[in-house]
Amino acid sequence: MSAIIAASTVAMGCGPYSFSGSSIPSHIKSVAIPIFENETAEFGIKEKVTDALLENFVSENILNISDNQNADSIIRGTITRITDVPFTFDENEIVQEYRVTIYLKLVWHDQVKNNDLFDGNINGWGVYPADSPEERNEGIEKAIERLITEITNQTLSGW
């Protein structure tokens, strides 16, 4: 939670950003990113994903971060599922690595024009060794990195 407050404070001075050679609708100058919902049993995942997205918006200087009532737009997310499935096998068909995937329902809503700029499902994945399940957190961190990249690509680069 402290990362959210810190990211919001740092972002207050940031201006709008032109992304991938195209610009976000000109009336969108700010975004609110409330803590995501979590429909899974994965403890702490909603905070990790929300904090990572906030940090990305701040570090990339994409939009001003604001509160829900004053923002021109709002990004809401729901983590709908997390799966762990075998990813690689050895010559004896023994699992060597697992792939953890985070599935997210995301809506980016334009609060000025009252319409959705993006409404869809996004996922990100990471890999961890089968013989070291304690490294699953590293797989989750990689999945979150990919998820944030995909959110940025899907919600912003289309403009």
Where in the chain are the domains? 2-156
Alpha carbons 127 and 116: distance in angstroms, whole number: 33
pLDDT of residue 23: 61
Residue 157 pLDDT class (50, 70, 90 cuts): low
Per-residue pLDDT reduced to its tens digit, 21-33: 346 899 999 999 9
**What mean pLDDT is predicted for residues 64-69?**
96
Alpha carbons 58 and 79: distance in angstroms, whole number: 22
Residue 134 pLDDT class (50, 70, 90 cuts): confident
Going by C-beta distance under 8 Å and a sequence separation of 6 or more, which residues neighbour residue 103?
79, 80, 81, 82, 83, 121, 122, 123
pLDDT of residue 24: 86
Q: 2-156 falls under which CATH superfamily?
A: ABC-type transport auxiliary lipoprotein component (3.40.50.10610)
